[in-house]
Amino acid sequence: MWGTKEGLDFLVSETLKARYLRKGERDWEDICERVAKAIAITEEEHLGFKDLMIRKIFLPSSPTLMNAGTEFGQFAACFVIPVEDGIEEIFDAIKTTALIQKTGGGTGFDFSQIRPDDSPSLCADGAASGPVAVMKLFNEATEIVKQFGRRRGANMGILNVSHNDIVYFIRAKHVEGELSNFNLSVLVPDTFMELVEADRVGEVWNKQTGMTVGCIFSEIVEGIWRNGEPGILFYDRINRDNFTPALGDISATNPCGEEPLLPFESCNLGSINVSFFVTDGKVNWDLLREVTGKAVRFLDNEIDKNTYPAPEIEAATKRTRKVGLGVMGFHDMLLKLGLPYDSSETLKLAEKIMEQISWAAVRESRKLAAEKEPFPEHENSTWELPMRNAALTAVAPTGTISILAGCSAGIEPVFSWVYRRTRTVGKEFMLVHPLFEAHFMSKLPEVDYNWLLEHVYKHGTLQNVENPKLVSEEEKRIFRSALDIDWKAHINVQAAFQRHCHAGISKTINMPDYAGKEDIKQALIYAWRQGLKGLTIYRTGSRQHVVLSLKKPES
């Protein structure tokens, strides 16, 4: 039933065919050659970039892998498009979004400028439809663009917690399948969270509607408990890391929340496979810093080589030259080092990884500023020394490129050591984690190994295996998957990375199916206190359609 290498190889092969291989290309090396040639300025860069990608040490995001060296030539993964309160402006934004999503980019929108439902409209007759109705227009446009693109379009819909329609917005995805092309997030200031933390929930937050802090917050908690929507974005924390405050405040992010951007800005993402840097139980920090420098140069080159979907996007992007360099393979790295995901040693390692990457990225950006020139808004920025890029680091979910790299996604813990993957290039895959297989297949007789696979596939954990000859206490300590880890430990890891990250962190805080609303409330407060810029919580089983799943219970 199970064949890890064959299953993973088949998944990679099908993914390449469905999304990345272009006419005349046969394999991964052909893709790397095309991309490296398109991004590099010199032959030395060409060979260096190609080597990093072939060895899967560093990979750019999907739009670059799909479009570099093609007629599209659009490399950026992240965009924020402003949505103003007018018919022409709304449909202009929809058109720009369609052009972005056709080339694989993801879009984020702050709908807070849209007047509330039933308020007077700009038209002579009738009333405004409100932010949720406008979101539905964008959702339908994305549905149409899907037919032309190589991957599903993704959106982030954001509404300020002070908007009159905030409850309608929070409830917009209560029925699974509604607004299926959107993630939703509520933009929350510190003053709101301070009232929640102080249990001053009876205070009126919105004087126009009379809604209290408690009413709004309980709706947020209910939505998260019901099916993981909405997420939370912490407005003040995001803007404390706004390196170009003269250009205005940031109120929107890309679809997964890791890249807060100003209106019309785009950002190129790339991720370093940190599991690659473990040798003989130690981390090669010198090599990590070296690869970081090359990756920053790669992403900076993209800004000038890119074909932009609209002139406003090109102008805004080149004004600040933001890039988003992050990591993948973090849990694999921990396994190679023999560290549990929820340990104090892991938190120290997480913080050091991001500190070293950000330090090396800043060093390279300063070199680039000396070679070329600083980003145009540098004089009005918070950077003291010349920099090529206003922001450099962000941790993306790496859902697809981690498949190509053969490593765990982003900084997420492994969902399960044995699982079913669906909704990926239209197929279903049964998979076993390669490090799990390498460890237990060499230790156990075939019949015991197959029993263990079935057990983990059914339960999602090996913590409840009672036979110490099959699984020792030390193995239980190391092989802890997502639902074995307390929500506070999830948040602590995200916070450790966030301390040295310029932008944000995309991560899911997993909770078991029996988690209550009080758990969600406490997690939101704790995440805000730990300095996170945003938060997504998912309670197991709260959605019917998911990408990763376990064995279905027998009727």
Catalytic positions are 254, 256, 258
Whether the CB-CB separation of 267 and 259 falls below 8 Å is answered with: yes
Going by the DSSP 8-state scheme, the letter that residue 395 receives in this structure is B
Whether the CB-CB separation of 85 and 117 falls below 8 Å is answered with: no
Beta bridge partners of 212: 204
Q: Closest Cα partner for 197 from 526, 518, 495, 533?
A: 526
Pairing of the two strands 182-188 and 155-160: parallel
**Helix, strand or coil, per DSSP, at residue 120:** strand
CB atoms within 10 A of CB 369: 20
As given in the structure block, the two tokens for residue 275 are: 């599991």
| Phi, psi angle pair for 199, to nearest 5° | 60, 30
Q: What is the distance between the alpha carbons of residues 379 and 248, in angstroms, rounded to a whole number?
A: 15
Residue located via tokens 């492994």? 414
**Per residue in 141-177, is it b (16+ CB within 10 Å) or e — as a string?**
bbeebeeebbbebbbbbbbbbbbbbbbbbbbbbeeee
**No. of H helices and E strands in the chain?**
20, 19
Element (H, E) at 240: helix 235-240
**One-character DSSP codes across 205-238:** EETTTTEEHHHHHHHHHHHHHHHS--EEEEHHHH
Q: What is the distance between the alpha carbons of residues 77 and 62, in angstroms, rounded to a whole number?
A: 7
Q: What is the distance between the alpha carbons of residues 305 and 232, in angstroms, rounded to a whole number?
A: 34
Q: Closest Cα partner for 396 from 272, 549, 279?
A: 272
